[in-house]
Structure 1
Amino acid sequence: MKKSIFIIIITIIIFLSLPTPSLSLSKPCNKNDENTLFQIKKSLNNPYHLASWQNTLDCCHWYCVKCNKTTGRIIELTIFSGNISAQIPPEVGNLPYLQTLLFRKLTNLTGQIPSTITKLTHLTMLRLSWTNLSGPIPSFISQLTNLNYLDLSFNNLTGSIPPELATLPNLGTLHLDRNKLTGTIPGSFGMFKTVPYLYLSHNQLTGDVPKSLGYLNFTWIDFSRNQLTGDLSMFFGTNKTIQVADFSRNNFEFNLSEMEVSGTLSHLDLNHNKVYGSLPEAFTSESLQYLNVSYNRLCGKIPQGGNMQRFDNTSYFHNRCLCGLPLPRC
């Protein structure tokens, strides 16, 4: 009798542990989304890269596609590293539940960014990088108010940076680097509601960095290889939490000895500018893991302590009169 009861209990436990059909099965791909994907494939000239896009297979299982398992709606379209010669299909705007849109490392992808992406109101990541997209950065991107990550790097984009990008309320990362952008950094960038990781390097930007940016507490900034001018000390201070800052190869000119540095700074690159003065004692903080102030107009003795003597002499050379280890004795 006891053995029978024991077997019944074990059977019940095993039965309850099995997944129910309603939870184990995913909803099939939405037919409207499937038709849109076929249109996108046609606009991309039916590349071999998308050979799995066939009606013999549920489109939630296609390469470069991800569905919401509950609704069957397409939430990710990530096309990368393929031999595709085309423009971004305007039909991408007909995937209304898309959260991630990525076209990356497609060197034969040309044309401009289509305005139909403004219909993608759920989009949190837009990554159009390492392509041959051209034309201006369209201001209509600011309509994608749920964007957290915007990457337009490694393209042939021209013109100025739209000030409207600063109105994106949830932006955490902004990549505009490696393009052919001109003009100044918009003063509106000092009004970001969330302070993004900001990458503007390898462009042709000019003018002073707007003072409004100094009101924000950036963590990561890369303005390297432009033609920017002015004072950068506004980004630093004992109340700032900046960690990585690359301002190399510009025309910045300010007194470095007056700059206050917080204990969070780990990477600072100022090489090839017109920075003058001396190196602050605060640079001896153990948190500073990388420093390059070469090719400037600095003078004085290199402070002792921290990693200052562990940095290679190339971190300091070609200045007006810096001295002390690892450079020659003062």
Structure 2
Amino acid sequence: MTFLDISNNKIQGQVPAWLWTLPKLEYVNLSNNTFIGFQTSNKKQGLSSVRKPSMVHLLGANNIFTGNIPSFICELHSLNTLDLSENNFNGSIPPCLGNLKSTLSDLNLRQNNLSGGLPKDIFERLRSFDVGHNQLVGKLPRSFIRFSTLEVLNVESNRINDTFPFWLGSLQKLQVLVLRSNAFYGPIHQASFPQLRIIDISHNHFDGTLPSDYFSKWTAMSSLGTDEDQSSEKYMRGGSGYYYDSLVLMNKGVEMELVRILKILTAIDFSGNKFEGQIPKSIGLLKELRVLNLANNAFTGRIPSSMGNLTVLESLDVSQNKLSGEIPQELGELSFLAYMDFSHNKLSGLVPGGTQFRTQRCSSFEGNLGLFGLSFDEICRDAHTPATKVYETSESEEEDEEVISWIAAAIGFIPGVFCGLTIGYIMVSYKPKRFMNPFGRNNRRRRSTPTH
């Protein structure tokens, strides 16, 4: 047996030890079951020295594995892919994984309970390293600068306390950098990042200003190209024996899990920090950018008109800043811009009249006191104009009804007094009229004799 896929079942218990004695087994997928652990041989809880599998891919994501990551994995000397994400492993990342430094390419340990620091000198050929959603502490090891093959680095939602790793710009193949939801701080120094396509540094403590030419050297987002010879290409073609990178990204106002992220998306998320000053004009150079999120910072000044060059931009969020001036009219020409949020700034002036602007919610513009225009009036009609008109109409109607009531009362009062006096006079002057038996022949009324 060389290939075993039992993923997406309801298999319980432990992974049997005999599995690791199959010498030709190269691919094992145990994902999406309810396994709780791994059985191993009795010999020092490791693998048999006689028969060791030539394991290349081991996928065990989304089970309920507990305890430390088993050390026998370090004896799988041909291992290329290890995915143990979405389990309950604890302890630190095993240093013995350094035994695999010449073969291990994709390591995914995200969404466990791992603690301690990040490994330093145990990897050489890593293409993808994902340890997001754990409890890791410390700093990003400078030794990562030697991971010359690294394309994806994801350390989101940990407790890493460090400055911005501008030195990662020397990694010529780095395409995805995710530092989201940690304790990074300070300014983000300018770096080249020649192959970077996705960067998410949101929800940290970064501050300072960004120079006007900050994005000028991010060449991969300026023109993606169609190089079919990149090492990541095999992960894009599919096939059950391959590992796919995935990423959770804020896109169009919601968190989305994106699979096969390389080459199909470009995104910048700087939201939830303390950046000040103007948005760099060089943002307009990133013509392949599809998602831009600068929300919840302290950016000031105008939205750069150079954003009108982002012809494939699909999602734009600059809310919760201190931006002023007009929304650039050039943004009205962006036909792919399906989601935008300019709320809670100091914007004023004419809202662009493009079709995409007319499909937005009014909440995308709220908190700006000086916006106007046909697009703005159209999408915010229900929230503003009609409410005022209805209130004024109902108030005037109440006043009219009150006047009409008084007039009706006055009109009814005069005849009422006259009729009352007349009836009173008749009652006093005459006796009640009597009638014959209604069943009698003579049914004519008699006139009563007046009384005094």
Q: What TM-score comes out, normalization by structure 1 length?
A: 0.71
Cα displacement (A) at 1:116: 1.9
Partner deviation per Cα, 1:23-58 (whole Å, 9 max, x = no partner): xxxxxx49xxxxxxxxxxxxxxxx97289x99xxxx
Cα displacement (A) at 1:294: 0.9
Cα displacement (A) at 1:215: 2.4
Question: Given the alignment, which residue of 81, 88, 91 partners 1:132?
Answer: 88
Give the 3 Å change call, closer, same or farther, for CA 299–164 of structure 1 in structure 2. Answer: same
Structure 1 residue 288 corresponds to structure 2 residue 289: yes
Gaps in structure 2 of 5+ consecutive residues: 3-8, 222-265, 329-341, 350-452
Structure 1 residue 230 corresponds to structure 2 residue 186: yes
Give the 3 Å change call, closer, same or farther, for CA 308–301 of structure 1 in structure 2. Answer: farther
Contact 1:302 1:308 in 2 (8 A): no
Structure 1 residue 49 corresponds to structure 2 residue 4: no
- The size of the alignment, in residue pairs, is 266
Cα displacement (A) at 1:117: 1.7
Cα displacement (A) at 1:257: 2.9
Give the 3 Å change call, closer, same or farther, for CA 100–223 of structure 1 in structure 2. Answer: same
1:321 corresponding residue in structure 2 = 323
Give the 3 Å change call, closer, same or farther, for CA 301–236 of structure 1 in structure 2. Answer: farther
RMSD over equivalenced CA pairs, Å: 3.1
2:303 corresponding residue in structure 1 = 302
Counterpart-to-counterpart distance in 1, 2:74 and 2:93: 13
Counterpart-to-counterpart distance in 2, 1:105 and 1:49: 12
Larger Rg: 2
SS in 1 for 2:30: strand
Counterpart-to-counterpart distance in 2, 1:291 and 1:210: 21
Structure 1 residue 152 corresponds to structure 2 residue 109: yes
Cα displacement (A) at 1:306: 2.4
* Paired residues for 1:124-203 under 5 Å: 124-144=80-100, 145-165=102-122, 168-203=123-158
Counterpart-to-counterpart distance in 1, 2:154 and 2:39: 27
Contact 1:294 1:316 in 2 (8 A): yes
Contact 1:88 1:110 in 2 (8 A): no
Counterpart-to-counterpart distance in 2, 1:288 and 1:310: 6
Give the 3 Å change call, closer, same or farther, for CA 100–322 of structure 1 in structure 2. Answer: farther
Give the 3 Å change call, closer, same or farther, for CA 322–289 of structure 1 in structure 2. Answer: farther
Aligned amino acid, residue 300 of structure 2: C
1:5 corresponding residue in structure 2 = none
**Overall identity of the aligned pairs, in %:** 24
SS in 2 for 1:77: strand
Q: What TM-score comes out, normalization by structure 2 length?
A: 0.53
Counterpart-to-counterpart distance in 2, 1:309 and 1:300: 24
More RCO (CA 8 Å, sep 6+): 1
Aligned amino acid, residue 211 of structure 2: S
Aligned amino acid, residue 290 of structure 1: V
Aligned amino acid, residue 183 of structure 1: G
The worse-fitting range, judged by mean Cα deviation, of 209-218 and 192-201 is 209-218
SS in 1 for 2:169: helix
1:26 corresponding residue in structure 2 = none
Cα displacement (A) at 1:81: 1.4
Aligned amino acid, residue 187 of structure 1: R
Contact 2:289 2:312 in 1 (8 A): no
Cα displacement (A) at 1:109: 1.2
1:119 corresponding residue in structure 2 = 75
Structure 1 residue 247 corresponds to structure 2 residue 201: yes
Partner deviation per Cα, 1:7-31 (whole Å, 9 max, x = no partner): xxxxxxxxxxxxxxxxxxxxxx49x
Aligned amino acid, residue 306 of structure 1: N
Contact 2:154 2:177 in 1 (8 A): yes
Counterpart-to-counterpart distance in 2, 1:193 and 1:184: 19
